[in-house]
Structure 1
């Protein structure tokens, strides 16, 4: 049976198969805890996490189909729905909450307890799922074929390939195997760097006045995302990166000249602008411009989709209080009385529970900002995927506005900063969880899952991983201390600086306003503003490989074929292969995170074979390897 937009899921709406079972729930909880802990460590160490949806789906297939001899695709999907919640909640938590530990180390507050961290994480995780419920029809159903949701689509293809077997399965696992080996060689054995970087300076004559860097992360998942997204979306992202790295960074360095910047060297001395490298300019200036652009792009996108959201909300409210067992299985969501009542109850709990430091205004801000950023995040991951979702940009915007409002109500000083971080943490988790939930609902939409069961699964995964994250943070802080080399917590350090900057009135407002103006100009030019804004915020090293994947998709689409069926088969083969690449890198990324926790990462590190020239020689090796990887995508689309 086809859905209202003509799409036919793999499992028909009239067919009932095992889905929300004891086995799927227990296995999903275990994977949520494991992946949440691993990603918490990875994010605190290097400032980024890896999407867990596809790795969890692959593990689920291995356990359920091979070991337990179960063959329900919806049961597999339920495991990945619950299991992937751990990674998303960990990402939202570690980007903000370590700031509380840093202030405690400075003697400004008490060290957060397990109860406080877990309570904040539970509130954010559950609220993120609730706020995504009324958005499902608008973003997942009505925009099917418009928003690609690369990881959700890839996860669906992996599950379908495992179900169907045969040629499609071989294509997926070919991409998986090649990507897994590639990822292990570059980030495990470190035979070449996963990020190649080349200086671009002195191109216009003497004096080296034009200074920036060009490069890309030579990783299979980004190329796969680019292929699934296609050339149009990839080009918008890349255009934003070009704006940042080839216009804004050189301009800041050139016009700053010998003037003193706000960047300190190792000795604690302020550096001149012409002494900064492009990465220092990006982390201290461009990220604020990008945050302003992302916030403005989110607001513009929200207004443009507001009519659809209102219709969806009215449709959902039409079922308020009705028996949710009515209607087609694939169209059932959590009842609105649970969503609205649960949201209000969470707001009251955040206000009433001691230790969270959220007053009535803060609880109100969380619900308002939560709905806004849940919408923005769900749409953004539909464009670039969860791994590239600029949650930190949304967190920066939230912290700025929240801290300003707290100051206006005389909630200042350390108490105000703690309240701002608490509110920002919940919003950050909301945005991250909404993004993950939307990807999972897209996968469920493809395979024919029951939305209400997936939403309950997300809630279970959120609570399980929230209870884990408090223990993980306490353990890591006790072992090393946040801000130290082992767990530098770069994103949380940035959030701490933002809150202190607003509270102490030294935040670079001009940069944020510049980002807002750029977003407005881009919208006037009728360029999709959110995709462009994400490109401005993220390093060009992420958007460049996505662009490469998009170009391969364009080549495959424009190539001449004997028939439309042959053309469709070629494009679909590339999608399956790209899905496998995303899965392979995700699996090895988690494995390497576990290696790092166990201290095995240094044992397998072979970068010493280059001596002191690892980056120099590795750049060229990495480029060659990435070109071969891109060629392999095109090869996977050959005539079968």
Structure 2
């Protein structure tokens, strides 16, 4: 049978993804955007690999900074795709859709690896057990490799055979963006506009830069013994737009419970006490500021709520987990191998032999490398947990998307399981804590990477990429990002202090509490169970418990600007004058603009961190701060007004894009 005629580039752009991309059918019958018979189109090129690696490091750094700041991360596939199209197709004029797909595959792997690292490794830093650069590279690379390798034999089952049943929302959305590549220049303007605005805003605001206005305006409510403030950060407005008004409002509700109910109650009942209340040991409640009460008491309540709701989220996905395990045998029996010439180009994976040998090599490294402190038991636990949760995460993101993947719940489960095994075997002390957190770190990276490559493989399936090339690209992206993630964490810690008010690392703090609580038995369990009870009540009310628990756990000042971004998204969604296509256009442009704000602020944050460390190493006292005539009160008001101005600018660009106007 002759090969089907290859459509021209203009024909492809005009037809977009076919209806079969969304309809349940045997994936082997699906005709991708670039047909399998196409052998000459550039795909795995040097420029695509280099550009993907660079963007992976940039967005990985942005996710590391954002995750340490607020405990949340964002996906980078679509922003990376748009930037890639702007460079390869816009500037160089000859980029192909398959090259752009390789760029986003490599770039997003760096972002997902950073997301896994910042949930756990900072806990070791805060406990005074900071791993060296070599150890951080091993944690990141070995976890990432396990996530990639374990996903390879699942591709043909989850991506191909389950086509139409598992939608993979982010992967499908990224494919739509790639297919609409003729709009790359227009869409790229939103990413770059966000980058510039986020960069300049932080340059003017940051106390280690120009320091022209306050980054945390606050209103004290002295009669209530609390305060209402906001971290006036563009990145948080961007996060709010991405997650939407419902989740943002749920987060804010959790923060309001903590800061407007629990903190005033603790202050009132503790005012007359003549002795400290555990876990505080040397400070009376009457002498505490609202932030002290949050630090000593509320964060344990929040930790209990986050742990409980994370496990509920995990349990809620149990059908998907069981489905994943039932289908695993089918996946392995169908084989991961595809030999060029025997299978179509679009169905060729890395060989099953590569998967097995690679997994054995990773397991041996986990066991035998002394700096990992795992031993045989720890290595086995890593492989078992990562394998199990890779199956789970790959199916869950196919059903509900990566933003709903309960990474924290899975990681907590791995930490609890590991800690209980260690207790049963008599392992104790600081070395046991280090080993438990290292297990959790590798597993967390594996979970995050597996979820990401699942979406990437779905994108590749829809556009007609070669799976083997994507898998090779994912490995390159993991190794490249792993080289830099340790440097990024070290610079941020040296400049700001991980665990400080500047970088509170909320998820890592939670993981630390879990491990110390199980191995030492010194958690304030009453506060933890109170948080779990609050989480249970929220779930019983039909509200998504995990965002509420995160809001309860974080300072409310972080949730306020997130809510502002959610309101902008809500204004777009509720605008009756817009058609559904216009809302979709505004949504896409808003996500790109938000991603740019996040990346721009984070990039400058890392530049400032490098400046601070360099200045201290050289013994310099120079500061870039610009003298100004207004006082602290005006700094706070100016910070508030400027953030409102930024929100108005953001809203205007999103709504004008929704109307089809040039943003």
- Common fold: TM-score over 0.5: yes
- The Cα shift of 1:391 comes to 5.8
8 A contact 1:570–1:639 mirrored in 2: yes
The CA deviation string for residues 337-361 of structure 1, in whole angstroms up to 9 with x for no partner, is 6556644553344223333221333
Structure-2 change in CA distance of 1:603 and 1:31 (3 Å): farther
Q: In 1, distance between residues paired with 2:262 and 2:388? A: 28
For 1:128 and 1:81, the matched residues in 2 are separated by: 14
- In structure 2, relative to structure 1, the CA distance for the partners of 1:208 and 1:344 (3 Å cut) is same
| CA displacement, residues 51-97 of structure 1 (integer Å, 9 cap, x when unaligned) | 65455445534543355443212212212321333343344335544
1:483–1:516: structure 2 CA closer, same or farther, 3 Å change rule? closer
5 Å-filtered alignment, 1:421-440, equals 421-438=437-454, 440=456
1:638 aligns with 2:662: no
Name the structure 2 match of 1:509.
525
Distance, in Å, in 2 between the alignment partners of 1:526 and 1:19 is 46
Name stretches of at least 5 consecutive residues in structure 2 with no aligned partner.
1-17, 25-29, 206-211, 616-621
Alignment of 1:46-65 (within 5 A): 53=77, 56-65=80-89
Query: In the alignment, is the contact (CA less than 8 A) between 2:126 and 2:499 conserved in 1?
Result: no
**1:516-595 alignment, distance < 5 Å:** 516-530=532-546, 532-534=548-550, 536-537=552-553, 556-557=572-573, 559-560=575-576, 567-595=579-607
C-alpha separation between the residues in 1 aligned to 2:607 and 2:215? Answer: 17
> Are 2:214 and 2:638, in contact at CA under 8 Å, matched by a contact in 1?
no
Contact 2:320 2:395 in 1 (8 A): no
1:410 Cα offset (Å): 0.6
Measured in 1, the distance between the counterparts of 2:410 and 2:72 equals 15
Decide whether aligned partners of structure 1 residues 299 and 627 sit closer, same or farther in structure 2, where only a CA change above 3 A counts.
same
Q: Per-residue deviation at 1:618? A: 1.8
Per-residue deviation, 1:12: 3.8
Paired with 1:480 and 1:294, the residues of 2 have a C-alpha distance of: 33
1:403 aligns to 2:419 (yes or no): yes
* Partner in structure 2 of residue 458 of structure 1: 474
**Cα gap change, 1:540 to 1:407, in 2 (>3 Å):** same
- Per the alignment, do residues 306 and 395 of structure 1 end up closer, same or farther by CA in structure 2, a change over 3 Å counting? closer
Distance in 2 (alpha carbons) for counterparts of 1:467 and 1:180: 24
Alpha-carbon separation, structure 1, partners of 2:499 and 2:570:
45
Is residue 156–residue 446 contact of structure 1 (8 Å, CA) maintained in 2? yes
Q: Does structure 1 conserve the Cα–Cα contact (< 8 Å) formed by 2:158 and 2:166?
A: no
Residue by residue, what CA displacement relative to the aligned partner does 1:562-587 show, whole Å, maximum 9, x if unpaired? xxxx7133112212321321332144
Using a 3 Å threshold, how does the CA distance of structure 1 residues 380 and 322 change in structure 2: closer, same or farther?
closer
2:98 is the counterpart of 1:71: no
Moved more, 402-411 or 322-331: 322-331
How many Å separate the matches in 1 of 2:125 and 2:301?
27
Looking at structure 2, the residues matched to 488 and 551 of structure 1 have their Cα atoms a distance apart, in angstroms, of 26
Change over 3 Å in CA distance of 1:517–1:256 after alignment to 2: same
Report whether the alignment pairs 1:88 with 2:88: no
Q: Does 1:11 align with 2:33?
A: yes
Sort the Cα spacing of 1:304 and 1:226 in 2 relative to 1 into closer, same or farther, 3 A: farther
Inter-CA distance 61–552: structure 2 relative to 1 (3 Å threshold): same
Name the SS of the counterpart of 2:224 in structure 1.
coil
- The residue matched to 2:631 in structure 1 has which SS? helix
Alignment of structure 1 residues 243-392 onto 2, 5 Å: 244-246=258-260, 248-254=262-268, 260-261=276-277, 269-272=282-285, 275-277=288-290, 281=294, 284-310=299-325, 312-320=327-335, 323=338, 339=355, 342-343=358-359, 345-371=361-387, 374=390, 375=392, 379=396
Tell me the equivalent position of 2:47. Answer: 23
Aligned-pair distance for 1:251? 4.8
Aligned counterparts of 1:533 and 1:153: Cα–Cα separation in 2: 30
Work out the CA distance in 1 between the residues paired with 2:233 and 2:487: 34
Cα shift at 1:460: 1.7
Q: Give the aligned length.
A: 613
Of structures 1 and 2, the larger Rg is shown by 2
Q: Answer with 377-386 or 64-73: which moved more.
A: 377-386
Give yes or no for contact 2:167–2:398 (8 Å, CA) kept in 1: no
The corresponding residue for 1:122 is: 141
Q: Larger deviation: 333-342 or 179-188?
A: 333-342
CA spacing shift, 1:333–1:58, aligned 2, 3 Å: same
1:612 aligned to 2:632? Answer: yes
Task: State the secondary structure of the residue aligned to 1:78.
Answer: helix
- Name the CA shift for 1:274/1:534 in 2 (closer, same or farther; >3 Å): same
Give the conservation status (yes or no) of the 8 Å contact 1:154–1:575.
no
The alpha carbon displacement at 1:409 in A equals 0.9
Q: What is the alpha-carbon distance in structure 1 between the residues aligned to residue 94 and residue 227 of structure 2?
A: 54
Q: Matched residues in 1 for 2:191 and 2:98: separation?
A: 22
Structure 1 contact 356–419 (Cα < 8 Å) conserved:
yes
Partner SS for 1:184: helix
- Structure 1 distance, partners of 2:232, 2:166, is 28
**CA root-mean-square deviation:** 4.7
Deviations 1:270-329 (A, max 9, x none): 341783425851673244124313432332233142344245434423412653667776
Indicate how the Cα distance of structure 1 residues 217 and 545 shifts in structure 2: closer, same or farther if over 3 A, else same: same
- Whole-Å Cα distance in 2 between the matches of residues 577 and 239 of structure 1? 28
1:249 Cα deviation (Å)? Answer: 4.8
Quick check: 1:380–1:389 contact (8 Å CA) kept in 2?
yes
Q: TM-score when scaled to structure 1? A: 0.77
Q: 2: CA distance between counterparts of 1:256 and 1:506?
A: 22
Distance 1:570 1:19, change over 3 A: same
Kindly tell me: are residues 331 and 557 of structure 1, through their superposed partners in 2, closer, same or farther at Cα, counting changes over 3 Å? farther
C-alpha contact (below 8 Å) 2:423/2:519 kept by paired residues: yes
Q: Secondary structure at the match of 1:213?
A: strand
Which residue of structure 2 aligns with residue 164 of structure 1? Answer: 182
- The separation in 2 between residues aligned to 1:381 and 1:223, in whole angstroms, is 27
* Larger CA deviation: 229-238 vs 420-429: 229-238
2 CA distance for matches of 1:99 and 1:181?
32
Is the 1:227–1:546 Cα contact (8 Å) retained in structure 2?
Answer: yes
Alignment match, 1:108 = none
Q: Which of residues 414, 419, 444 is equivalent to 2:435?
A: 419
